[in-house]
Structure 1
């Protein structure tokens, strides 16, 4: 990728990083706001060019091409979001260990947004809690820079990874996404209900929005609604669709 605005301080990864020798595309899955039956955001999910699952692509990612892949994911997501005329937020996963200098590495994303005409204020960057963080200070600097640029930030798979609530003590994102392991069977599991209720209390105090991801059944939805969650993602509403925006299965009013 050639950046439209050259970096003042060249990043070593830009000079030495291995170029990608494979291509990929994206599928999109909606995140809905149950309060007004609207789409809050679409998450961009990596897919093979034939629509195959993310594993077929992620298996090609290694230490040498991690930086190039992370940058290419951002650009591809922005390009497709503009092509599909997405009117809301677009959520993009990023690899914190592939970001060397936040203010430099973000330039390709900014240039892509300008080139394709997609508003940067409608971008959300997700870090997955499953990825072990080598340097929390580095992550904090990334989040700080992204917020300065007007992006929203999110912790994906919250509750399933290495840090849990300790991560919130280090920095406060705009959004957390409850891992599906907490959502699954929550309708019959008082332990999961108590854990999620506690997380919601912390997030409310810190002004952090909560998305329940991996919602698959009406019973799960009913329990999560009772706990006060308004933002949802999962097969109950829509499966990811390759290079297009899926139709949303809105819940019956009786559920509410």
Structure 2
């Protein structure tokens, strides 16, 4: 496979896994300390209303003492983007394993930091093995707000991840960067509806029509749908009526710093049929 960047040009040599052996990841993938800054994770549950259980936890980057994500992401640039992406995957898995997380783990990744997915995934696989976290319980979702400069390249990356055994998710579906053209090239396991579509959906016929059509399309393509950013009972009820049972948002739980939720302590909305 050609070593390439997302603009179609050869990948810069400092980012490519030249040192990856047949059975090991390259050192730059694993050496998170080379970043020059520390970070950790908070975990927010994605709930299954129908089953009254936690479907997954999304790992959300935080500062080492729980500082907001921008305090970390502001330090990510073109020079360290690849190393941060790799170190983040390892840290998310290691912390989830330490917490004895029983649900799936959703990890954001930066598509524009990936050059050779079949090599650069090795550090993730090694972390999963080292911490006894099953590969089939790991979801890779496109990072929120990252502009995708080459949708076909993103589809290639996701396809490789799916082939290896990871679950795949397209985040912010409907926001512009991740839309129908991407879905035509690749059908992920999950799409996450952009929170702007969710906000006030109980009072918006156009939003309801768009979500209803998206759910029907995803059912035909065998794709699960998550409504993210759910903040009110009315939004939750509207999504439930539209056929969505997987949801994420402050209505259920805020992200918990270096901790994960348990289904039996969540406040489940009343009045919704199971």
* TM-score, normalised with respect to structure 2: 0.86
Gaps of 5+ in 1: none
SS of equivalent to 1:255: coil
Q: 2: distance between equivalents of 1:230 and 1:107?
A: 33
2:272 aligns with: 255
Q: 1: distance between equivalents of 2:109 and 2:130?
A: 21
1:86 aligns with: 101
1:193-217 per-position Cα deviation (integer Å, ceiling 9, x unaligned): 0111111111111000000000010
2:69 aligns with: 54
Q: 1: distance between equivalents of 2:234 and 2:171?
A: 23
Q: 1: distance between equivalents of 2:81 and 2:177?
A: 21
Offset at residue 163 of structure 1 (A): 4.3
1:188 maps to 2:203: yes
Gaps of 5+ in 2: 1-16
1:79-106 per-position Cα deviation (integer Å, ceiling 9, x unaligned): 0111011112100000011011001100
Q: 2: distance between equivalents of 1:214 and 1:106?
A: 29
Residues 125-164 of structure 1 aligned to structure 2 (within 5 Å): 125-128=140-143, 130-164=145-179
Q: 2: distance between equivalents of 1:53 and 1:109?
A: 24
Does the 8 A contact of 1:131 with 1:161 survive in 2? no
RMSD: 2.2
* TM-score, normalised with respect to structure 1: 0.92
1:186-244 per-position Cα deviation (integer Å, ceiling 9, x unaligned): 00110100111111111111000000000010111111111010101000000000000
1:7 maps to 2:24: no
Offset at residue 158 of structure 1 (A): 1.0
Q: Tell me which of 248, 254, 267 is aligned to 1:239.
A: 254
